[in-house]
Structure 1
Amino acid sequence: MTNEEPLPKKVRLSETDFKVMARDELILRWKQYEAYVQALEGKYTDLNSNDVTGLRESEEKLKQQQQESARRENILVMRLATKEQEMQECTTQIQYLKQVQQPSVAQLRS
């Protein structure tokens, strides 16, 4: 069913209609009712299919975002490890420079 097709008219039958209507008229109304139900089922199937497709697209997009986030996290963790190593090297260098600047006992005696 395409979006341009109009939905068949809803058929309503009351108890009185069943008693008063001719058999042929009832059969015609029943066929109209069947067409209406089939159109609704087709529309429901189309809508449901669109929902599933949309959900799959959203799921794929979220997976890509999660992968990108994980990749960025790994990069940031590596940068942090590098910075920590640089800080450790700077601390070691500062300690060395402090030791070098302190006069030794022999230098103090002379």
Structure 2
Amino acid sequence: MKYINYDGSIVMTGDRIAEALADYAAVLGANGRTDSVHVPTVAEDGSIETTTVLVGPASELVLTAAPDDELEYEDPDFIRRLRDAAAHAGPDGPLNADGRTPFAGADDPEPFPDA
């Protein structure tokens, strides 16, 4: 699980959901675009809720590790939609200082497989 820290708010979601959101924000930023994304998140009581996040060139998302959860929440359909949207967000890609390739598929075991 990961926490998404955004503009003073903190929400918790699955690792791959958080990584997909960060990737999408990077692509939008590279292309000078924005989007309002309804992210599936985990409430304090463990229920699933939706948090709306505005992502784009000015986004300052910080992902941090959350306590491990046996029931890691994942939403492959959401991840696929976000990855597809990122692929169509514009011609420019973000820089990846860590050298990993973004935009792994929703069914890939790692969000950033080595290139």
- TM-score (ref. length: structure 1): 0.21
Instruction: Answer 1 or 2: higher relative contact order, Cα 8 Å, separation at least 6.
Output: 2
Larger Rg: 1
Report the structure, 1 or 2, having the larger helix content: 1
Report the structure, 1 or 2, having the larger strand content: 2
- TM-score (ref. length: structure 2): 0.20
